Amino acid sequence: MISKSTEEYLKTMYVLMKQKGIIRVTDIAKKMNCSKPSVTKQLGILKENGYIEYETYGEIKLTDEGVKLATRALADYDIVYILLHDVIGIKDKSAESDASKIKNVISDETLRGISEYINEEFGLNNLDCNFDIMNESCRLCAFKRGEE
């Protein structure tokens, strides 16, 4: 299990990679509202754990494992968002904000329970949602919600 901080960095880097095609320290710091030295320190930890490839002042690349963890975290966010927005009926902005907060504090066991409930409620057979950041939603879940 990875820390919430590590997960947030991986998600941020994945989103930047998808949106901009490159991952830069400056962009990570800006998106996460932290200092460049803090980002650089975290990059060392991520590299040590095999989640990124990075040389100081060089290109930052997510490894296959880094991509896997980032997309899983984004799919987990989608599951909580669906619960809040589509099941409970919370409005878009609140559901987005709260899903991010809730996802970061609940246990993996609770998240699995929510996932199983959403799977049953919406008939999703595969909760590995193929999150597509360019569409800013989970393609399978968006389809089930009638957005595609």
pLDDT of amino acid 147? 54
Token pair listed for 114: 């929510």
Beta carbons within 8 Å of 119's beta carbon, 6+ residues apart:
125, 127
Query: How many domains are contained in the chain?
Result: 2
Examine the fold and report which residue of 37, 62, 87 is the final residue of a domain before the chain moves on.
62
Tens digits of pLDDT across the chain (148 residues): 688 889 889 999 999 998 888 999 999 999 999 999 999 999 999 999 999 999 888 889 999 999 999 988 888 888 888 889 888 999 989 998 898 889 888 888 998 888 888 777 776 554 445 555 445 555 445 555 565 4
Residues 75, 126, single domain; the answer is yes
Residues 82, 28, single domain; the answer is no
- Whether this model's pTM surpasses 0.75: no
State the residue range of the domain holding 107: 71-144
DSSP type of residue 61: E
